[in-house]
Amino acid sequence: MYKIAVFAFFSVFVFNSCNSEQEIPVDLIDTEEISITIDTLATGLENPWGMAFLPDGRILIAERPGRLRVFAMGELRDAPVQGIPEIWDHGQGGLLDVVLHPDYDENGWIYLAYASPYGEEEGTGNTSISRGKLTGNSFTEMELIFQGEPATSAGHHFGSRIVFDDDGYLFTTIGDRGVMNNAQTLENHNGKVLRIHDDGSVPADNPFVNVDGAKPEIWSYGHRNIQGMGLHPDTRQLWSHEHGPMGGDEINLVRRGLNYGWPEASYGVNYNGSIITEETSLPGMEDPILQWTPSIAPCGLAFVDSDRYPAWRGNMLVGALAGQHIHRVVFDGNEVTDTEYLLDGFARFRDVRQGPDGYIYVLTEAPGLFFRIIPWETE
C-alpha cells in the first residue's frame, strides 16, 4: 500500500529554519504519521554523496567531483579538506561515501569510498577504500586498504557504501560496473557486497576464502548497483537497496554467501525496453524483500531508532533520485507492511542519515542541499 505525503511547495527549494516554539511554521508538512518541517543547513553543494558526524559537532560531506567539505558552527566551509586520495571523477564515479570507524574516539580513523584511477591502461580504475585521520583541515596518515578488481574504463555502477557491523567488520559495495554478468562470477569484485577487516585484511571466515579463483573479500553476489546499506537498529541485520535497470529496484536482506540474482532474475528490463530475463525468481537465488517498478533510483538508506520520531521507529528511509522523494518503508519482521512517499517532488535525494542528535539529515542534488527533518508536535 503506497501513500503519499503531499508536498505543496514544489517550486520552493530552500526553507528558513523554524526557531520559534510558539508559532506553527508556515512550511509545515503533514505526513501519514507526523508533521514535519525542513531545517536547511547548507545550499550550493555539488553532487553531495555521503556524510559523517564527528564527535565535536562537525559534519563531513563528500561531494562526488572530489571534495570533502566540513560543516561546522552552522556554516559550510569553503575550503575542502586537503590531502584526500586522488579521486577519479569519471561518469558515475568520484568521491562517494565517508564513514567513521566505530572506535573513532580511540583511533581517529575516517574511511572514504571513491573511484580510484589505476590499472595498466590510462583511463581505467574501480572503487577503492582508503582511511586516514583529520588533522586540522588535512587528511593525514592515509592508507589504501582495498581496491576493486579489475580496473576498467567503464563509467557506470561504482556502488558504493560503507557500513561497520557490531563486530567491527567493514562491509562495502561495488556495482557490476556496467557489465551484467560480472555479478554472477566470483572472480571479480563487481556486483558484490564485500567484507573486510578495518585494515583491509580478509576475514578467515568469509564464505569464499577457500574457493579457487574467487575473490576472498566477497560476502554476497548477484547485485547490480547498491547505493544504500545499513544495520537494522534492533536485529542488527545488514540491509541494502540497489538500482535495477528500467524497473526492478530492490530492497534486500544481505546474508553470508547468498546470490541475489542479477541478471539471471530481475523485475527490470533494458532501457530500450528489451528483455533482460523472463525470470523474476529462481531456485538458489534470493528474492527481493521489496521491488520498485517503475524505478525510483534508490540512493542512501537510514533506519530510524530515534525518540524524536517515535512513530517512525524501525522504519527504513530510502532516498530516491529519479523518484525525487524519500521512501518510508514499514516492516513487520522482514515483511514490508506499508510505504509512504515523503517530500515528493522536492529534489533528487542522494543520502539519508540519522545523526547523533537523533535528527534525520538529508543530502540532495539538483539542487545541492543539506538539511534536517524536524518533527513538529501539533497538539
Half-sphere exposure of 265 (CA within 13 A, CB side): 17
Task: Residue count of the chain, please give it.
Answer: 379
Contact 319, 362 (CB under 8 A): yes
Q: How far is CA 213 from CA 146, 197, 279, 362, in A?
A: 18, 21, 28, 41
Question: What is the C-alpha separation between 64 and 237, in angstroms, rounded?
Answer: 28
Integer Cα distance of 53 and 74 in angstroms? 14
**Phi, psi of 183, deg, nearest 5:** -65, -20
**19: number of Cβ within 10 Å:** 8
Active-site residue, from 90, 101, 157, 325: 157
SS3 39: strand
For cell 572514504, the residue is 112
Where are the alpha helices (H) located in the chain, listed in sequence order?
A: 104-107
User: Are 363 and 61 a contacting pair, CB within 8 Å?
Assistant: yes
d(CA 62, CA 191): 23
3-state SS assignment for residue 310: helix
Q: Per the structure block, which three cell numbers stand in for 358?
A: 537523533
For this structure, is 157 an active site residue? yes
**Residue 28 and residue 37 in contact, taking contact as beta carbons nearer than 8 Å:** yes
Residue for grid cell 541494502:
240
Catalytic residues: 157
